[in-house]
């Protein structure tokens, strides 16, 4: 839909992007967080509802991340799975663990959603 946009954020901006999208899921086509975790504050988690199950989420984690540990990434995977969220998870390490590969993967994920009419 032309009236919706995707939110993308990195580090704390990634967590904020998820929080904003969860506050008004009807306004966004999806959200990408690069090395930023799922918000843990009670307002964000309590606001999860059926609208969130239609909001695609791409959660990306780099082994080079300073403020977003691998353990927290794994916790976020469990949280999203338990909440029934339509989330995709990507972990990058080695040669593919640089921003150019991560952003290229963002583009592929976005184009796949658009090309397959998966945007609500």
16: Cα separation from own chain's centroid: 10
pLDDT at 95: 75
Average pLDDT, stretch 10-30? 92
Write down all domains in the chain, each with its CATH number in brackets: 5-115 (3.40.50.1820)
- Pairing outcome for strands 28-34 and 57-62: parallel
pLDDT at 24: 87
This prediction's pTM: 0.88
User: Per the structure block, which two tokens stand in for 8?
Assistant: 């993308």
How many angstroms separate the CA atoms of 74 and 35, rounded? 12
pLDDT tens-digit profile of 73-113? Answer: 999 999 999 888 899 999 999 877 888 999 999 999 999 99
């Amino acid at each position: 839909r032309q009236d919706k946009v995707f939110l993308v954020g990195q580090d704390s901006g990634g967590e904020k992007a998820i929080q904003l999208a969860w506050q008004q899921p009807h306004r966004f086509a999806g959200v990408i967080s690069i090395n930023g975790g799922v918000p843990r504050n009670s307002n964000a988690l309590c606001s999860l509802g059926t609208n969130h199950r239609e909001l695609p989420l791409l959660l990306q984690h780099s082994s080079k991340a300073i403020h977003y540990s691998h353990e927290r990434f794994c916790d976020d995977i469990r949280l999203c799975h338990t909440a029934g969220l339509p989330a995709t998870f990507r972990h990058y390490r080695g040669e593919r663990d640089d921003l150019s590969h991560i952003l290229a993967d963002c583009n592929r994920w976005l184009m796949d959603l658009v090309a397959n009419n998966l945007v609500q």
